[in-house]
């Protein structure tokens, strides 16, 4: 797997253990779906202002959100080419706010947002109640497999 992590904000310090959790979650999501780890994925940490602009531009919603997913659809794959699964953009500010609100660690919040976004990159959505249940179950399974629980305080 080629994982590109880009920290484009200066509001929240992104420690190495958070980056490690992102990598672990991505690998576990791929494993859960029976996919190889032979993908390129980028994860960008941004502030609320940047994610608000992206949310407005791509979703027509002029407000900050916690995470955005940008799936790539490579139609032609040459031999030796690592396919790009997509881009994940996480608001570090929003993730920190939500971790405090929900009473768990920043690392746990980022891990959950990464799992959520990965399932979007792999074609899942939550527009209907049935889709939401399927996606939530997959997110919970990844968190369980990695032993990242809501009560974690690190």
β-strands 67-71, 40-46: how paired? unpaired
Ramachandran region, residue 30 (left: φ > 0; alpha: ψ -120 to 50; beta: rest): alpha
**Residue 104 labelled as part of a binding site:** no
**Residue 116 labelled as part of a binding site:** yes
Per-residue pLDDT of the chain (154 residues; tens, 9 = 90+): 999 999 999 999 999 999 999 999 999 999 999 999 999 999 999 999 999 999 999 999 999 999 999 998 665 555 667 888 999 999 999 999 999 999 999 999 999 999 999 999 999 999 999 999 999 999 999 999 999 875 444 4
Angle, alpha carbons 51-56-59 (nearest 5°): 100
Q: What does the alpha-carbon distance between residue 55 and residue 57 come to, in Å, rounded to a whole number?
A: 6
CATH of the domain at 134: 3.40.390.30
Is 42 domain-assigned?
A: yes
Q: Count how many domains the chain has.
A: 1
**Residue 120 labelled as part of a binding site:** yes
Is 36 domain-assigned?
A: yes
The reported pLDDT for the residue numbered 132 is 96
Is 153 domain-assigned?
A: no
H or E element at residue 31: helix 16-32
Is 69 domain-assigned?
A: yes
b/e string for 23-47 if b means 16 or more Cβ within 10 A? ebbbbbbbebeeeeeebbbbbbbbb
The reported pLDDT for the residue numbered 151 is 47
Q: Fill in the DSSP letter of residue 86.
A: E
Is 84 domain-assigned?
A: yes
Is 14 domain-assigned?
A: yes
Is 150 domain-assigned?
A: no
**Residues spanned by the domain of 78:** 2-145
Say what the pTM is.
Answer: 0.93
- In whole angstroms, how far apart are CA 41 and each of 10, 59, 83, 143? 22, 21, 9, 19
Is 29 domain-assigned?
A: yes
């Amino acid at each position: 797997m080629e994982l590109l992590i880009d920290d484009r904000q200066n509001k929240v310090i992104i420690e190495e253990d958070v980056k490690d959790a992102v990598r672990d979650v991505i690998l576990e999501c791929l494993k859960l779906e029976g996919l190889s780890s032979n993908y390129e994925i980028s994860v960008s940490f941004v502030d609320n202002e940047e994610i608000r602009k992206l949310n407005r531009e791509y979703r027509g919603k002029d407000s900050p959100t916690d995470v955005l997913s940008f799936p790539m659809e490579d139609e032609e794959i040459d031999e030796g080419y690592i396919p790009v699964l997509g881009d994940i953009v996480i608001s570090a500010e929003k993730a920190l706010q939500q971790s405090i609100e929900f009473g768990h660690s920043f690392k746990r919040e980022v891990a959950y947002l990464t799992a959520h976004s990965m399932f979007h990159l792999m074609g899942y959505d939550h527009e209907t109640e049935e889709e939401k249940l399927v996606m939530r179950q997959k997110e919970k399974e990844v968190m369980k497999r990695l032993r990242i629980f809501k009560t974690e305080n690190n």
